[in-house]
Chains A and B, each alone.
Chain A
């Protein structure tokens, strides 16, 4: 008899399901009841209990028949950015209110084919634009963690804030996230869980609402590194429907978790030592470095000289691509259309629909993107940013050519902050949340965040490892070694 089923990791649940010690229906019911009791976190925004139980029954039958992929019967949460057939999928935007896709994203259909169970859709920043889940049309998702000395509601990070909150609060065993500039890794760090953004092209983007297509990648958010390996395995693979999907074999990531990193070269980039970086983050980084060294890795000081220009390049490229991708929301084919006045024509319909449907941050980015792509500025902004992106990628290629296997950095410049605390800051202050993660998207590399300690207020802090392209297996193994050394087991005290 297992006491609290929702606390199980994917690997533990898988083993118990296969042994017949547990049914997917029981596990799914436990998660559904945890979700019912966690309204205060506002993590699940569309619940699908009937579908979940139906999938769980089918999974139990499959397991009984002796045919059970790793994710068979595992209850998951799905970020609202993924199109799920017949289930609201609105990217946390008002403009997609009522939208029910007639198709299933490749990632979710792969998960369902493997027998995974969907509990519902998860909160996020509108169109994945944000670092605190405060731009969502559903309202804020809330971090299950609180500071030890006060009850301030904290952000779970963003954009995959609902995914982070749900996994940390044991509402589901794992969740899908997406990451354009840090949207898996920053929230994972803010709630003390593991999150990996794979190499660009590993997970199909087909059926995922597009934000910035050259940067967007899906990935898992889980309770530990082993679960990340299992879930990533289920999410990636070649898809002819995404022209940037990589036609490469997917190795067995879990089998690569040996914890042996002897002789690996770990780079410590000096440019990531930012002015004004909190001492606790600096100390955590040094501790993580020591852990990897003690595990037998060789520590090498490296330079990534263009790091400083990653965020400004990102804030040209991502809005430019967003302005183009979001042009499709015109009030004609799906979602919201504004009420029109007497004599309003098609232009008024577009303008009113988009003004009503998009929140302020999305409007801002669409307009910035429009500006940097407009005649006369295209070269000065957009082309220059793409050249800087080439240089940022070259920085990484140079250190990898010198034999570096992985790069260790802090995950975020701070622990989770209070909801509303940044509301008077200018937009750029919020953008600085992604300072350590955004380089990885610009270079198309895999990056994983692992919880590594608590700050003096009792909040989790994470470290990031960046790997060589397509070497997620090796990267996860290094993360596994770091996880074992850090021994992070803290959980938020339940208040919700």
Chain B
């Protein structure tokens, strides 16, 4: 499978990373090198093999669905690039 410039642009968009138009051909080429390497996986007979979910055979622990923590608005906002009046501030999302 070969990735063209258009696919590279679509992937960049999905990943929410701005890539300049003139950088796309080089990016597509890098993807093709890496995917070419990954293609080897096609040689393996995986019929009837379960995809791995957890590397250690353990049951995920469960707990009561209750509030165990909270009341730390200041701490949560402390690292925000833009926090106002107790909220994270972002550019306008709805017109």
Contacting residue for B55 out of A200, A323, A366, CB 8 A: A200
- In the complex formed, the residue of A with least CB distance to B33 is A426
- A332 lies within 8 A of B38 (CB): no
B6 → chain A closest CB, angstroms: 13
B15 → chain A closest CB, angstroms: 4
- Report the separation of the CA atoms of residues A389 and B54 in the bound assembly, to the nearest whole angstrom: 10
Contacting residue for A334 out of B3, B16, B80, CB 8 A: B80
- Contact string against A for B residues 43-65, beta-carbon threshold 8 Å, 1 for contact and 0 otherwise: 11010011111111010110100
Q: Which of A178-186, A273-281, A347-355, A460-468 contacts B (4 or more CB under 8 A)?
A: A347-355
8 Å CB interface, A334-382 against B: 334-337, 340, 344-352, 354-355, 358, 363-364, 366-368, 370-372, 374, 381
- Report the separation of the CA atoms of residues A99 and B75 in the bound assembly, to the nearest whole angstrom: 12
B84 at the interface (CB under 8 A from A): no
Give chain B residues whose Cβ lies under 8 Å from the Cβ of A386: 51-53
Contacting residue for B46 out of A312, A363, A387, CB 8 A: A387
- B50 lies within 8 A of A390 (CB): yes
A201 → chain B closest CB, angstroms: 5
Contacting residue for A333 out of B15, B53, B54, B80, CB 8 A: B80
- A351 lies within 8 A of B30 (CB): no
- B58 lies within 8 A of A246 (CB): yes
B67 at the interface (CB under 8 A from A): no
B79 at the interface (CB under 8 A from A): yes
- A390 lies within 8 A of B49 (CB): yes
- B46 lies within 8 A of A333 (CB): no
- In the complex formed, the residue of B with least CB distance to A319 is B34
- Contact string against B for A residues 30-47, beta-carbon threshold 8 Å, 1 for contact and 0 otherwise: 000000000000000000
A290 at the interface (CB under 8 A from B): no
- A366 lies within 8 A of B50 (CB): no
B81 → chain A closest CB, angstroms: 4
8 Å CB interface, A375-405 against B: 381, 383-391, 393
- Report the separation of the CA atoms of residues A322 and B56 in the bound assembly, to the nearest whole angstrom: 20
B85 → chain A closest CB, angstroms: 16
- Report the separation of the CA atoms of residues A348 and B79 in the bound assembly, to the nearest whole angstrom: 21
- A443 lies within 8 A of B55 (CB): yes
A93 → chain B closest CB, angstroms: 14
A313 at the interface (CB under 8 A from B): yes
Give chain A residues whose Cβ lies under 8 Å from the Cβ of B35: 368, 371
Contacting residue for A427 out of B33, B54, B60, CB 8 A: B33
A488 at the interface (CB under 8 A from B): no
- A345/B58 contact (C-beta < 8 A), A306-B44, A313-B41, A355-B17 known: no
- B52 lies within 8 A of A393 (CB): yes
- Report the separation of the CA atoms of residues A315 and B30 in the bound assembly, to the nearest whole angstrom: 13
Chain A residues touching B, range: 35 or more
- In the complex formed, the residue of B with least CB distance to A371 is B11
Give chain A residues whose Cβ lies under 8 Å from the Cβ of B92: 345-346
- A371/B33 contact (C-beta < 8 A), A99-B79, A308-B40, A315-B38 known: no
- In the complex formed, the residue of B with least CB distance to A372 is B38
- Report the separation of the CA atoms of residues A364 and B12 in the bound assembly, to the nearest whole angstrom: 9
- B18 lies within 8 A of A388 (CB): no
- A355 lies within 8 A of B19 (CB): yes
Give chain A residues whose Cβ lies under 8 Å from the Cβ of B93: 345-346
- A391 lies within 8 A of B15 (CB): no
8 Å CB interface, A317-339 against B: 323, 327, 330-337
A199 at the interface (CB under 8 A from B): yes
B91 at the interface (CB under 8 A from A): yes
Give chain A residues whose Cβ lies under 8 Å from the Cβ of B16: 327, 330, 347, 350-351, 354
- A469/B52 contact (C-beta < 8 A), A334-B80, A346-B90 known: no
Give chain B residues whose Cβ lies under 8 Å from the Cβ of A363: 15, 17, 19
- Contact string against A for B residues 1-31, beta-carbon threshold 8 Å, 1 for contact and 0 otherwise: 0010000100110111111000000010011
Give chain B residues whose Cβ lies under 8 Å from the Cβ of A331: 81
Give chain A residues whose Cβ lies under 8 Å from the Cβ of B58: 201, 244, 246
Instruction: State the B residues within 8 Å of A (CB).
Output: 3, 8, 11-12, 14-19, 27, 30-31, 33-35, 37-44, 46, 49-56, 58, 60-61, 63, 72, 75-76, 78-82, 88, 90-93
Instruction: State the A residues within 8 Å of B (CB).
Output: 98-102, 199-201, 214, 240, 243-244, 246-247, 306, 308-309, 311-313, 315-316, 323, 327, 330-337, 340, 344-352, 354-355, 358, 363-364, 366-368, 370-372, 374, 381, 383-391, 393, 426-428, 431, 442-444, 469
Closest 7 CB pairs of A and B: A444-B55, A386-B51, A334-B79, A337-B81, A351-B18, A387-B46, A355-B18
Instruction: Jot down 21 A-B pairs with beta carbons below 8 A, ordered by A.
Output: A101-B79, A102-B76, A199-B56, A244-B58, A306-B44, A312-B37, A315-B38, A316-B38, A332-B88, A333-B80, A334-B79, A334-B81, A355-B18, A363-B19, A371-B31, A386-B51, A389-B52, A390-B50, A426-B33, A428-B37, A442-B55
Known contacts A333-B80, A367-B15; 14 additional CB pairs below 8 A are: A200-B55, A309-B44, A332-B81, A340-B91, A348-B91, A351-B18, A355-B18, A364-B27, A366-B17, A370-B11, A384-B42, A387-B46, A390-B50, A391-B44
